[in-house]
Amino acid sequence: MDIPSLTIDRVRQALLAREFSASELAAAALRFAEAENPKTNAYLRLCPERAMAAAQRVDERIARGEDPGALGGVPIAVKDVIVTKGVKTTCGSRLLAEYIPPYDATAVMRIEQAGGVILGKTNCDEFAMGSSNENSAFGPVRNPVALDRVPGGSSGGSAAVVAQGTAVVSLGSDTGGSIRQPASFCGVVGVTPTYGRVSRYGLTAFASSLDHIGPFARSVKDAATVLGVIGGRDPRDSTSAEAPVPDYSAHLTRDVKGLKLGLPVEYLKQLTSETGDLISKGVAQLQALGCEVREIGMPATEYAIACYYIIATAEASSNLARYDGVRYTSRSLASDTLSDMYRNTRGEGFGAECKRRIMLGTYVLSAGYYEAYYLKAQKVRTLIARDFANAFQEVDAIVAPVSPFPAFKLGEKVDDPLAMYLSDIFTITGSLAGIPCMSVPCGNTAEGLPVGMQILTKHFDETTMFRLADAFENVPRKQ
């Protein structure tokens, strides 16, 4: 079996035809992941016992003549900010280096109920804070497409395993672009669903009004299948929505004739020429498929970075307050008093980027600054959401770049936090509005670096987003 070329459909056919069993596939996938992982450091750890047990349950289902499940036997990786019962979950942080969660995230539970086989946990920026995966306490991830470059972040490991072929699909989390940007950098599909579409129960909280769980895959169809499994109301997450989850794959008709697409003029000004050319080519391909493309205005865009980094860091400073040395494995033992213990545990445990964001978030929430920063940012967020609402009066979907540039070299941007923040410009607007958005491969630069195209649609209209992305992905083009 050629593991890197597997799709969900292919696994299903092979299992039903008894070409190989889920257990054989899991064992082979684990061996392959173990052999290939040193190149990228994308997996932080494999969980062979859990994977083999899940595979065996699938084999038993098949033996009983039952359906193997929508993800039956499919090797899956999970970002290490999503908790897995009995399997270490570090969030890329030294603070949680030994943390073994006592429960499963809802998304993890649903994947296993659907027959998915979780192979292991993937590397990421510490507490999902970063755009390059260089903020992991356990070393950076290398981009499988170009090993001297970053895979993007914060879900760099989850993008890399799918690109490298050491998992068929994976789960990541996205707060301001942490799924779409690494998907773009690694040349895979990455989906940030509507806010509320997927339960966050068991997702380690970073910025609660912005956090999402979503899938990575090598095809739009596989990503849609995973979202169909993990989506839907969960009584354990009061922010998960009741909205019914459609059968996305039934809507992948390849017919996008007459779809009205908006191209935000504010975005296009900020691209490197090569990325801009690839996006323009992509737009022309969509026009050739019969889509009507028009330019739209998103005037609040230039304030999005400031807005996002106020709201996200404010929420992070509050969410990360729980890592105080009392409950979560790490404690500074050299402290005589409770308050010293809190301070030293956090000072020793958090990495530089987490400290920066905790400080920024604490500052913008502190007395005298709350209204000038936090409240102001929440009002600007309303204006950004309004830009999208206005645009969707006119168009069915918005097409945009994901990142101003392709994957950069390891170490190239680590010393300039503001420059790193500014590179999130195209992904954070959709995050702030809470709408579904995804990255779909759009071609490669002359150097062979992948560039993703972003597709954004109305709240809960992942169906149109997937239909457009699937049609775009299947445009015949030479690689």
Q: Smaller CB distance to other proteins: residue 156 or 434?
A: 434
Closest CA to 192 of 455, 474, 464: 455
Count interface residues toward other proteins (CB under 8 A): 77
Is residue 381 within the footprint of other proteins (CB under 8 A)? Answer: yes
5 forms part of the interface with other proteins (CB under 8 A):
no
Applying CB under 8 A, does 363 fall inside the site for other proteins? yes
Task: Please tell me the total number of residues recorded for the chain in this structure.
Answer: 479
Query: Does 265 sit near other proteins (CB under 8 A)?
Result: no
Using the minimum distance from each CB to other proteins, give the nearer residue, 263 or 432: 432
79 is known as an active-site residue? yes
> Per the residue annotation, which of 21, 154, 423, 431 is the catalytic one?
154
Burial (0-12, 13-18, 19+ Cβ within 10 Å), 53? middle
Residue 329: beta bridge partners?
Answer: none
Exactly one of 1, 27, 243, 414 binds other proteins (CB under 8 A); that residue is 243
The tokens for 415 are: 């010393």
Say which of 23, 79, 221, 330 is annotated catalytic: 79
Among 10, 251, 376, 413, indicate the residue that binds other proteins (CB under 8 A).
376
* Candidate ranges 44-52, 368-376, 389-397, 441-449; the one touching other proteins (CB under 8 A): 368-376
Determine if 18 is a binding residue for other proteins (CB under 8 A).
no
Q: How far is the CB of 292 from other proteins (least distance, A)?
A: 28
Asked if 355 is part of the footprint of other proteins (rule: CB under 8 A), the reply reads yes
| CB neighbour class for 277 (10 Å; exposed up to 12, middle 13-18, buried from 19) | middle
Binding test (CB under 8 A) with other proteins, winner from 52, 103, 249, 274: 103
Q: Which stretch binds other proteins (CB under 8 A): 149-157, 344-352, 391-399, 464-472?
A: 344-352
Q: Please say which residue, 275 or 330, places its beta carbon nearer to other proteins.
A: 330
Please report where in the chains the tokens 């999902």 appear, as a residue.
128
- Nearest partner of 462 among 151, 243, 185, 236, judged by Cα: 243
Structure token digits, residue 464? 């149109």
Which is nearer to other proteins, 339 or 393 (by Cβ)?
339
How far is the C-alpha of 80 from the C-alpha of 130, rounded, in Å? 14
Please pick, from the candidates 50, 79, 218, 459, the single residue that binds other proteins as defined by CB under 8 A: 459
- Report, in Å, the least distance between residue 130 CB and other proteins: 14
Figure out which of the listed residues 18, 63, 65, 102 binds other proteins, where binding follows CB under 8 A.
102
Collapsing DSSP to helix, strand or coil, 140 comes out as coil
The single residue of 23, 136, 178, 423 carrying the catalytic annotation is 178
The question of whether 178 is a catalytic residue gets the answer yes
Helix (H, G, I), strand (E, B) or coil at 67: coil
CB 44 within 8 A of CB 161: no
Q: Between 43 and 309, whose beta carbon lies closer to other proteins? A: 309
**Per-residue contact string for residues 187-216; x = within reach of other proteins by CB under 8 A:** -------xxx------------x-------
Cβ distance 15 to 62 under 8 Å?
Answer: yes
Residues 388-417 that bind other proteins (CB under 8 A): 417
Query: CB of residue 343 vs other proteins: minimum separation in angstroms?
Result: 4
Residue 235: CB minimum distance to other proteins, A: 4
Residues 168-187 that bind other proteins (CB under 8 A): none
Footprint on residues 311-340 left by other proteins (CB under 8 A)? 317, 321, 324-331, 335-340
- For the stretch 99-138, what's the b/e string if a residue is b when 16 or more beta carbons lie within 10 angstroms of its beta carbon? bebeebbbbbbbbbebbbbbbbbbbbbbbbbbbbbbbbbb
Q: Which of 71, 279, 360, 398 binds other proteins (CB under 8 A)?
A: 360
Q: Is 269 in the site for other proteins (CB under 8 A)?
A: no
Measured from the Cβ of residue 478, the count of other Cβ atoms closer than 10 Å reads: 4
* Nearest to other proteins of 62, 432 (CB atom): 432
Query: What is the residue whose two structure tokens read 């684990």?
Result: 30
Q: Is 63 in the site for other proteins (CB under 8 A)?
A: no
Side by side, which strands form the sheet with 117-122?
43-46, 117-122, 75-79, 169-174, 212-217, 189-192, 437-444, 450-456, 397-401, 260-264, 292-296
Which amino acid, residue 421? Y
**Strand (E) or helix (H) holding 171:** strand 169-174
User: What one-character DSSP code corresponds to residue 398?
Assistant: E
Backbone angles phi, psi at 233, to 5 degrees: -50, 140
Q: Would you say 11 or 380 has its CB closer to other proteins? A: 380
Q: Is 377 in the site for other proteins (CB under 8 A)?
A: yes
The correct pick among 306, 414, 444, 445 for binding other proteins (CB under 8 A) is: 306
Which residue do the tokens 């129960």 mark? 201
For residue 88, how many other CB atoms are within 10 A of its CB?
Answer: 17
Bridge partners of 209, per DSSP, are none
Residues ≥6 apart with Cβ < 8 Å to 311:
207, 209, 210, 374, 377, 378, 381, 432
- Interface residue with other proteins among 358, 437, 438, 451 (CB under 8 A) is 358
Q: Report, as residue numbers or ranges, the catalytic residues.
A: 79, 154, 178
